[in-house]
């Protein structure tokens, strides 16, 4: 019996916490509207975030904390999306922002122009490189063809020279032999 009583109390506590959170949030919305018109938007935002933080610190249940954090994340996201920074800028800051935007657009145009120029130069260099490569490959093919063509002629010429040298060497040997024999016979006589 005591367990069911505790469950009822914890359910009531959860409902009470949720009701308090909703009531605090409703009060906060009223307070925010009043302070935003009286003090300015910044003070109301700070006050609202302090209240939300206090609400989160009061939550005891993990599931409620997760749901509150999810709601808070959604609120933060919509607030970031709806934030108009121009409303918070002074006139001098607005003029500085305009000049900054103009200089940014000029820089982006200059970068784009430089990129296009670089692309043109690069493509031109690439075309020249390809053409040079084709010319060199053609010259190499021509030289190989000439070498192949003249190889047969060179082989024939070297064989002819080798045979002539052999003949000349054998003739020289015979001549030496004949000279030696003639010299020997001349000494004997």
Query: Is a pLDDT exceeding 80 seen at residue 145?
Result: yes
Distance (Å, whole) CA 165 – CA 161: 6
pLDDT higher for 104 or 25? Answer: 104
pLDDT tens digit sequence for 40-53 = 455 666 787 788 77
What is the pLDDT at residue 94?
Answer: 85
Tokens of 123: 């493509």
Residue whose pair of structure tokens reads 């939550």 in the numeric block: 59
> Using 50, 70 and 90 to split pLDDT, how confident is the model at 16?
low
What is the pLDDT at residue 50?
Answer: 82
> Using 50, 70 and 90 to split pLDDT, how confident is the model at 22?
low
């Amino acid at each position: 019996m005591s367990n069911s009583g505790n469950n009822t109390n914890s359910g009531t506590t959860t409902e009470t916490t949720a009701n308090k959170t909703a009531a605090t949030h409703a009060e906060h919305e009223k307070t925010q509207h009043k302070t935003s018109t009286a003090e300015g938007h910044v003070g109301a935002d700070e006050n609202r975030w302090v209240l939300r933080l206090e609400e989160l610190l009061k939550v005891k249940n993990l599931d409620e904390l997760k749901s509150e954090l999810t709601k808070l994340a959604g609120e933060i996201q919509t607030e970031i999306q709806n934030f108009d920074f121009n409303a918070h800028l002074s006139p001098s800051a607005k003029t500085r922002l305009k000049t900054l935007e103009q200089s940014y657009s000029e820089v982006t145009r200059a970068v784009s122009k430089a990129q296009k120029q670089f692309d043109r130069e690069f493509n031109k260099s690439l075309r020249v490189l390809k053409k040079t490569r084709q010319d060199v490959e053609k010259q190499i093919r021509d030289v190989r063809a000439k070498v192949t063509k003249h190889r047969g002629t060179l082989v024939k010429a070297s064989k002819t020279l080798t045979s002539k040298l052999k003949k000349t060497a054998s003739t020289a040997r015979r001549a030496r032999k004949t000279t030696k024999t003639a010299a020997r016979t001349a000494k004997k006589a």
